[in-house]
Structure 1
Amino acid sequence: MEHLVSVALVQGFMALVFMALFVLFYKHTSPFVGNLPPGKIGYPIFGETMEFLSTGSKGHPEKFIFDRMANFCSSIFKTSLLGEPVAVFCGSTGNKFLFSNENKLVTTWWPSSVQKLFPATTEQTTTASQEAKKLRKIVHPFLKPDAVRGYIGIMDTVAQRHFADNLESSGGEVVAFSLAKQLTFWIAARVFLSLDDPKEIRKFEEPLKLLVSGVYSIPINLPGTTFHRALKASFYLRKEVIKIIKQRKVELAEGKANPSQDILSHMLVTCTDDGQCWTDLDIACRIIGLLSGGYDTTSSVCTIIVKYLAELPHVYEAVYTEQMEIKKAKRRGAGELLNWDELQKMKYSWNVAQEVLRVAPPLQGTFREALDDFVFNGYTIPKGWKLYWSANSTHKNPDYFPQPDKFDPTRFEGNGPAPYTFVPFGGGPRICPGKDYARLVILVFIHHLVTRYRWEKIIPDENTVVDPLPIPANGLPIRLIPHPHLTTTTMH
Structure 2
Amino acid sequence: MSLFSDVVLLVIFPIILSLFFYRKLKSSSSKTVNTPPGSSGWPIVGESIKFGSAGPQKFIKERMEKYSPDVFHTSLLGEKLAVFCGAQGNKFVFTNETTVLTSWWPQAMKKALISPELSENEAKEIRKSQKGFLPDILKPEALKQYIPVMDAMARDHVASEWTPRYVVKVSPLAMKYTFGLACRLFMNVVEPDRIDKLTKHFTRVITGFMAVPIDLPGTAYNSAINGGKLVRAELLNIISARREEIRENKETIGRDFLSKMLLVTDEDGEFMTEKEICNNIIGLLVASYETTSTAVTFVLKHLAEYPHIYDKVYEEQMEIKKSKKPGDLLCWEDVQKMKYTWNVACESLRLAPPGQGAFREAATDFTYAGFTIPKGWKVFWTVHTSHRDPKYFPDPDKFDPSRFEGSGPAPYSYVPFGGGPRMCPGKEYARLEILVFIYNVVTNFKLEKLSPNEKVLFRSSLVLTEGLPVRLVPHKN
Same fold (TM over 0.5): yes
**Which of 197, 200, 209 matches 1:203?**
197
Provide closer, same or farther for how the CA distance between residues 389 and 395 of structure 1 changes in structure 2, counting only shifts above 3 A: same
**Which of 222, 226, 250 matches 1:228?**
222
1:489 alignment counterpart: none
- 1:125 deviates by 6.9
**Which of 78, 95, 98 matches 1:100?**
95
Q: 1-side partners of 2:459 and 2:358: how far apart?
A: 15
1:296 alignment counterpart: 290
Q: 2-side partners of 1:25 and 1:55: how far apart?
A: 33
- 1:283 deviates by 2.1
**Equivalent position SS for 1:254:** helix
Q: 2-side partners of 1:279 and 1:406: how far apart?
A: 48
1:84 alignment counterpart: 79
Summarize deviations over 1:206-255 as a string: whole Å, max 9, x none.
Answer: 22122123332222112221111111211111111111112112210121
1:116 alignment counterpart: 111
Q: 1-side partners of 2:409 and 2:281: how far apart?
A: 34
* Residue identity matched to 1:479: R
The unaligned stretches of length 5 or more in structure 1 are 486-492
| Aligned-residue identity in percent | 45
The unaligned stretches of length 5 or more in structure 2 are none
Comparing 462-471 with 386-395, greater Cα deviation is found at 462-471
RMSD: 2.8
- Asked whether the 8 Å contact 1:28–1:85 carries over to 2, the reply is no
Summarize deviations over 1:93-116 as a string: whole Å, max 9, x none.
Answer: 111111000021001111111221
2:44 alignment counterpart: 45
Q: Give the 5 Å matches for 1:42-441.
A: 42-56=41-55, 61-120=56-115, 123=118, 126-127=121-122, 131=126, 136-169=131-164, 171-255=165-249, 259-273=253-267, 277-331=271-325, 333=326, 335-441=327-433
- 1:471 deviates by 2.4
Q: 1-side partners of 2:334 and 2:171: how far apart?
A: 26
**Equivalent position SS for 2:249:** coil
- Asked whether the 8 Å contact 1:370–1:387 carries over to 2, the reply is yes
Q: 1-side partners of 2:312 and 2:119: how far apart?
A: 52
- 1:403 deviates by 1.0
Q: 2-side partners of 1:27 and 1:469: how far apart?
A: 36
Summarize deviations over 1:72-102 as a string: whole Å, max 9, x none.
Answer: 2111112222222211111111111110000
Relative to the length of structure 2, the TM-score reads 0.91
Q: 1-side partners of 2:434 and 2:119: how far apart?
A: 37
Provide closer, same or farther for how the CA distance between residues 176 and 346 of structure 1 changes in structure 2, counting only shifts above 3 A: same
- Asked whether the 8 Å contact 2:113–2:205 carries over to 1, the reply is no
Q: 1-side partners of 2:140 and 2:24: how far apart?
A: 47
Provide closer, same or farther for how the CA distance between residues 27 and 260 of structure 1 changes in structure 2, counting only shifts above 3 A: farther
* Residue identity matched to 1:372: T
- Asked whether the 8 Å contact 1:24–1:44 carries over to 2, the reply is no
Q: 2-side partners of 1:154 and 1:27: how far apart?
A: 59
Q: 1-side partners of 2:378 and 2:268: how far apart?
A: 29
**Equivalent position SS for 2:226:** helix
Provide closer, same or farther for how the CA distance between residues 31 and 166 of structure 1 changes in structure 2, counting only shifts above 3 A: same
Comparing 190-199 with 146-155, greater Cα deviation is found at 190-199
**Equivalent position SS for 2:75:** strand
- Asked whether the 8 Å contact 1:112–1:219 carries over to 2, the reply is no
Q: 2-side partners of 1:27 and 1:279: how far apart?
A: 45
Provide closer, same or farther for how the CA distance between residues 53 and 303 of structure 1 changes in structure 2, counting only shifts above 3 A: same
Relative to the length of structure 1, the TM-score reads 0.88
Summarize deviations over 1:254-283 as a string: whole Å, max 9, x none.
Answer: 218664212211222233345554432332
- Figure out how many residues of one structure are paired with residues of the other and give that number: 465
